[in-house]
């Protein structure tokens, strides 16, 4: 009876020794972070559009980034119809959570895959870019924007990324534009400053 108990304890001990808890991230974790300005070049309502903004994030083990970004229309793009106060141009911006997976970040040139999930606002503005949209005239929308980047390691603390993204926009109700006229590809240029 005692021998059976000892054998049972040995078996349980051996099984638990071989069983290890599985986790997404294990071992020591290296942390970093970055921030910087972003330029995007695309098309809204069939016209060339320039978006400016910024993004930043927490870098985990040199390969996974959790962060956020925000972007706004910087040039004059005609709205489909004039606004209630005679405004002729789009006022457009969006932002959200950004997730990015980086391949071989220690290479001089390397690639990454990113997705933004967020929301934005659309309205009208006049000739003066400093005049924002009126709250009663704004519309909100949902956006998902996947992207692929090629990144050049310039120094230990500075990197330049060039890539392509695609805006999937839904929920636009404004007569200033439509979801299909705001969705589309963009060229992306990012200046990254931080600890990688």
Per domain, the residue ranges of the chain are 31-195
User: 31-195 has which fold?
Assistant: Porin (2.40.160)
Q: Lowest mean pLDDT: which of 134-138, 160-164, 165-169, 174-178?
A: 134-138
User: Tell me: the pLDDT tens digits for 5-64?
Assistant: 544 555 555 555 555 666 666 678 899 999 999 999 999 999 999 999 999 999 999 999
- pLDDT value at residue 176: 92
Q: How many CA atoms lie within 13 A of 162 on its CB side?
A: 2
DSSP codes joined into one string, 156-179? TTEEEEEEEEEEEEE----TT--H
pLDDT score of 151 more than 80: yes
What does the alpha-carbon distance between residue 90 and residue 110 come to, in Å, rounded to a whole number? 36
Rounded mean pLDDT, 98-116: 97
Asked whether the beta carbons of 97 and 68 are under 8 A apart, the reply is: yes
- pLDDT at residue 9, as a whole number: 52
Give the tens place of pLDDT for each residue, 78-87: 999 988 888 8
Could you give the CA distance from residue 177 to residue 175 in angstroms, rounded to a whole number? 5
CB 63 within 8 A of CB 102: yes
DSSP 94-151: EEEEEEEEES-TTSSEEEEEEEEEEEEEEEEE-SSTTS---GGG-EEEEEEEEEEEEE
Model pTM?
Answer: 0.81
Q: Quick one: DSSP state of residue 62?
A: T
Digit-coded pLDDT (tens) for 53-77 = 999 999 999 999 999 999 999 999 9
pLDDT value at residue 135:
44
Residue 31 forms beta bridges with which residues? 60
Q: Which 3 state secondary structure label does DSSP give 71?
A: strand
């Amino acid at each position: 009876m005692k021998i059976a108990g000892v054998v049972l304890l040995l078996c349980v001990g051996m099984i638990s020794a071989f069983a290890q808890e599985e986790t997404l991230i294990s071992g020591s974790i290296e942390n970093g972070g970055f921030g910087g300005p972003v330029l995007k070049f695309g098309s809204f309502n069939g016209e060339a559009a320039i978006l400016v903004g910024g993004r930043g994030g927490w870098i985990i083990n040199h390969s996974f980034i959790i962060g956020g970004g925000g972007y706004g229309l910087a040039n004059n793009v005609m709205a489909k119809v004039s606004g209630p106060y005679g405004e002729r141009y789009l006022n457009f911006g969006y932002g959200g959570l950004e997730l990015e997976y980086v391949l071989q970040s220690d290479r001089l040139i390397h690639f990454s895959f990113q997705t933004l999930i967020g929301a934005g606002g659309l309205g009208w503005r006049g000739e003066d870019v400093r005049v924002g949209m009126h709250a009663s005239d704004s519309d909100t929308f949902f956006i998902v924007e996947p992207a692929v980047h090629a990144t050049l390691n310039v120094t230990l603390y500075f990197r330049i990324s060039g890539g392509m993204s695609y805006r999937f926009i839904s929920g636009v109700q404004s007569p200033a534009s439509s979801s299909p006229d705001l969705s589309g590809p963009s060229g992306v240029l990012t200046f990254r400053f931080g600890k990688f």
